[in-house]
Amino acid sequence: MHPETKLPKVGTTIFTVMSQLAAEHGAVNLGQGFPDFPVPARLVDALSRAMQAGHNQYSPMTGIPALRQAIADKTGRCYGWKPDVDAEITVTSGATEAIFNAIHAVVRAGEEVIVLDPCYDCYEPAIELAGATAVHVPLDPATFAPDWDAVRAAITPKTRLLMVNSPHNPSGAMFGAADMQALIGLLRGTDILLLSDEVYEHIVFDGARHESALLYPELRERAFVISSFGKTYHCTGWKVGYCIAPPALSAEFRKVHQYNVFCTFNPAQHAFAEMIAQEPEHYETLGAFYQEKRDSFRAQLLKTKLKPLPVPGGYFQLVDYSAVSDLDDLAFARWLTEEHGVTGIPLSPFYAKPPAGQRLLRLCFAKSDETVNRAIERLSKL
């Protein structure tokens, strides 16, 4: 029996494909975005203590009170506004679950959701499963800056939701204050909701400010703002994130959440609550920690034939490989893995329609010095 697929454009994700290829060829995997260095010791110890203390059963559906309080306190500290602990914060099983929940909470069949290309690959499938249409508006192919006039032109009476991501995956580009004002002007007077994917919120460089939607009352009153503990605390495999949204949106969000996973890994919630409260310097210094890695990686890449693009935030480095090969990015990523033992992620899977002739590869620098040095040694031979 062959059922008609609900996701005809979806196959195995590029991340799975490239990680499997890396394993098969013994390549240094700079593709999938996960750190290969230790989780903070306090967090691991707190997780163990939580399990030993018996926090191994279902948590409250919205998340344990201590973690929601810690999130509220951290949000107030970072953005000068504190969400309501009970009505506006929901702990989720990773940011991907939160994105799915938000879309399915408010988007109906026949409606439209605007996404900015290149965008993370979970966005469109969640939109399609809701019976809606993803409307792709391209970012600038060189700078990955938004064209707000183009976004405005894409709005129709069917537009229900606009999805934004800063710092941006895959490029590392970030919104500035002018972008946020443009976004406010764009949405003012409409019923369009906002989904702000802010999973790299603490990984920002060069003294810049992360322009969270939570900083702007006109945005946060219509927004789902999504964050990831996995990205902040080097534990992507724990799959814990959260969503901050106004009470009416949170109520709808929780209707989907409770029948999706119901609740999230309980002992980790206790560990994060302790970590946030007792070691705030971790997230406060995370940008400096990764900036050192970015700068070191960039300096080493400049000695190769790969051209690194600017990286304002996040932990990915785009490189232009046109001086090495004229292969398209999918073919180049496979060739680089099979022939030179380094794996990256091609950019074309992040687009509905990739720019013609684009020769860019995404490399992750959230790696140990040993891993990066092994990769550079191989890339220097291109």
What local confidence, expressed as pLDDT, does residue 112 receive?
98
Q: What is the mean pLDDT of residues 154-183?
A: 98
Q: Is the pLDDT of residue 201 over 90?
A: yes
Q: Which long-range contacts (CB under 8 A, 24 or more apart) does 366-369 make?
A: 366/33, 366/34, 366/35, 366/36, 366/234, 366/290, 366/293, 366/315, 367/30, 367/35, 367/36, 367/37, 367/293, 368/36, 368/37, 369/296
Q: Is the dihedral of CA 285, 309, 122, 132 positive or negative?
A: positive
pLDDT digit string (tens) for 327-364?
A: 999 999 999 999 999 999 999 999 999 999 999 999 99
Q: Is the pLDDT of residue 32 over 90?
A: no
What three-state secondary structure class fits 361? strand
34 confidence band (pLDDT: 50, 70, 90): confident
Q: Are 311 and 298 in contact (CB under 8 A)?
A: yes
45's tokens: 């110890």
Q: Are 275 and 268 in contact (CB under 8 A)?
A: no
pTM (predicted TM-score): 0.97
Q: Domain segments of the chain: what residues?
A: 14-39+284-379, 41-282
Do the first three CATH levels of 14-39+284-379 and 41-282 match, i.e. the same topology? no
pLDDT digit string (tens) for 209-232?
A: 999 999 999 999 999 999 999 999
Could you please state the CATH topology (level 3) that the domain comprising 14-39+284-379 is classified under. Aspartate Aminotransferase, domain 1 (3.90.1150)
**Burial tier of 67 (Cβ tally within 10 Å: 0-12, 13-18, 19+):** buried
202 confidence band (pLDDT: 50, 70, 90): very high
Q: What is the mean pLDDT of residues 297-320?
A: 98
> Of 10-14, 52-56, 122-126, 233-237, which range is least confident?
10-14
Maximum distance among all Cα pairs of the chain, rounded to whole angstroms: 58
Phi, psi of 281 (to 5 degrees): -65, -20
What local confidence, expressed as pLDDT, does residue 9 receive?
84
Q: Is the pLDDT of residue 55 over 90?
A: yes
Mean pLDDT of the chain: 97
Domain 41-282 has CATH 3.30.70.1350: no
Q: Is the pLDDT of residue 302 over 90?
A: yes
What local confidence, expressed as pLDDT, does residue 267 receive?
98
d(CA 154, CA 71): 35
pLDDT digit string (tens) for 176-185?
A: 999 999 999 9
pLDDT digit string (tens) for 56-82?
A: 999 999 999 999 999 999 999 999 999
More confident residue, 164 or 9: 164
Q: Is the pLDDT of residue 105 over 90?
A: yes
What local confidence, expressed as pLDDT, does residue 2 receive?
80
pLDDT digit string (tens) for 82-96?
A: 999 999 999 999 999
Q: What is the mean pLDDT of residues 31-36?
A: 90
* Alpha-helical runs (H) found in 167-285: 177-187, 217-220, 229-232, 247-260, 266-278, 281-284
Q: Is the dihedral of CA 378, 309, 284, 278 positive or negative?
A: negative
